[in-house]
Amino acid sequence: QVQLQESGPGLVKPSETLSLTCNVSGYSISTGYYWGWIRQPPGKGLEWIGSKFHSGSTYYNPSLKSRVTISLHTSKNQFSLNLTSVTAADTAVYYCARGEGGSYWAFDYWGQGTLVTVPS
């Protein structure tokens, strides 16, 4: 069974870089699918951050593109998120997720989410 688990600091200072890792078990990320991140500010809706295909194709939310990097670490079966120059507006629960991309998109496996707080 595919499982995803986020890890990383729960508190990041303003202007610093938010770094999260998603550990994947039950499926090799080098085999296929898109691997990405979605966030949800407290009490609000879902916002896609970006996704990276196992072979390298990467898509980012245009509103975050200048600050986001998603990397795959195939030897560890992990992938990561770096979000630079954070502000209080980046406070959210961050989910990692596996995505089926191409003619349609659907995220079929999600991590349990990790809350990251950026104090104002």
* Segment contacting other proteins by CB under 8 A, of 7-15, 19-27, 71-79, 95-103: 95-103
Residue 57, class by beta-carbon neighbours within 10 Å (0-12 exposed, 13-18 middle, 19+ buried)? exposed
* Segment contacting other proteins by CB under 8 A, of 14-22, 25-33, 76-84, 102-110: 102-110
Q: Is 15 helix (H, G, I), strand (E, B) or coil?
A: coil
Half-sphere exposure of 70 (CA within 13 A, CB side): 25
Q: How many CB atoms lie within 10 A of CB 69?
A: 16
Please identify, using beta-carbon distances, which residue of 15 and 105 lies nearer to other proteins: 105
User: Of residues 1, 31, 75, 103, which one binds other proteins by CB under 8 A?
Assistant: 103
How far apart CA 57 and CA 65 sit, in angstroms, is 14
| Binding to other proteins in span 25-64, by CB under 8 A | 38, 45-48, 51, 59, 61-63
User: Of residues 80, 111, 116, 118, which one binds other proteins by CB under 8 A?
Assistant: 111
